[in-house]
Amino acid sequence: MDTPIDPASLRYDHDAAGLHRRDLDPDPIKQFANWFTTAVEAGIRDVNAMSLATATPDAHPFVRVVLLKGFDQNGFVFFTNYESEKGEQLEANPHAAMAFYWIELDRQIRITGSVAKTSAEESERYFHSRPPASQLGAWASPQSQVIEGRDVLETRLAEATERFAGKPIPLPPYWGGFRVIPATIEFWQGRPNRLHDRFRYARQPDGSWSLHRLAP
């Protein structure tokens, strides 16, 4: 076996021009939209991929990558199986953290907040915007459950395909969206010598946002 690469030996020099308070919109949702648009225009693959952290009621953390499917002044939306590991954790402990990392731009965005389910109407609208194969996949996969092998999924997919042949595929009762309602939103810009720029918005009791620079 070859000698493994030592992670401590890896170096990446950040050379971005930096981030200044004057660059930031007073509204963090608009600032997110600005950065998200820039990332899309940069051609970053899976630009809406984000790390989503949840925790059990006794504070055991879990993290995975999911896809952002919408955002506005009400929050940031993703969809999943409510009976999955993350779905059950969010049901019991409705708080989450999200992180986007766009290395091509030397940028990160970190978001924390409470979590609520989207309405059934919103979930159904998004579900039916998905390709039919993805809709069938939601019926076929008992997400996060132990299965004997991939043939289980193939069998369940075949059964769902036959069941809904020639008719609209309904929204599974256990499937829908979550909305992360932000309490903090942080924008991070890589800089040389690990002296990165960090600015954090924090929601105030009256709904307004404060903005502070943080040490890297």
Residue 216: CB partners within 8 Å, gap ≥ 6? 191, 194, 195, 196, 197, 198
Helix residue spans in 82-212 (DSSP H): 85-92, 120-127, 132-140, 150-163
Distance of CA 2 to the CA centre of its chain: 36
Do 178 and 117 touch, CB atoms closer than 8 A? yes
Is 194 in the active site? yes
d(C-alpha 31, C-alpha 25), whole Å: 5
Q: Please, is 156 exposed, middle or buried when counting C-beta atoms within 10 Å of its C-beta (0-12, 13-18, 19+)?
A: middle
Do 141 and 156 touch, CB atoms closer than 8 A? yes
- Among the listed residues 22, 191, 194, 213, the single catalytic one is 194
Active site residues: 194
